[in-house]
Amino acid sequence: MREKNSDRLVHVYYVRINERKDLSGTDASSIAERLLSYALMHLYGLTLEECGKKTKEHGKPYFGQHPEIEFNISHSGVYVILAIGGVPLGIDIQEQRVTDIDKLGKKIFSVGEYRDFLTHEDRQEAFFRMWVMKESYIKWTGEGLLHGLKDLKMDGWHRFLHIDKEYFCAVWAGVPLDIRLEEVPLRLIK
């Protein structure tokens, strides 16, 4: 089924893997490829092979044969998530895991961000919100960790997505997006 996309319409598809607590990198990559294939066929009537998936200098994937289609993928814990549309974008999902967020925060937050982080009543929530914002931002720019997480001068637009109370997820783009969020049952992409 083809859908005529507006310039700012982005579809976010996600899959929850119920039988495993954590996906291995290989499992997540396989599921991500199948989810991407599903989205391409569902939205554009195209196969992954017709699109010619490639990777830019710092690792951001793109379609050589259809550069007008932008996409980004993330996975954490039991979720694989994909954002796809007609504008450059980045997406990140992260499971809240108990970690030494104060120590890690010092490494990834600027001085001002860290000071703000320390004022939050729920620092774990504040940490993971900032984490997915930074990750989705660097995935949007395609520069990866070229400048480091501390030194990011983030501009553009972002939105948090509610997927699961144990996870944080953010989408980043240069313009406000019209986001359509949809869970895809694993059986549909096998």
Report pLDDT digits (tens) over 55-110.
Answer: 988 889 999 999 999 999 999 999 999 999 999 999 999 999 878 898 999 988 99
Whether the Cβ atoms of residue 76 and residue 95 lie closer than 8 Å to each other: yes
- CA 18/CA 165 separation, integer angstroms: 16
CA-nearest of 75, 77, 131, 137 to 108 is 131
Average confidence (pLDDT) over 15-30:
78
**What is the CATH architecture assignment of 9-182?**
Alpha-Beta Complex (3.90)
| HSE value, Cβ hemisphere, 13 Å, CA-based, for 188 | 15
Paired tokens of 143: 């520069």
The pTM for the full model equals 0.91
Residue 58: how many CB atoms within 10 A of its CB? 12
Q: What are the domain boundaries of the chain?
A: 9-182
| Cα–Cα dist 40/70, whole Å | 11
pLDDT at 155 over 90: yes
Under DSSP, is residue 121 helix (H, G, I), strand (E, B) or coil? coil
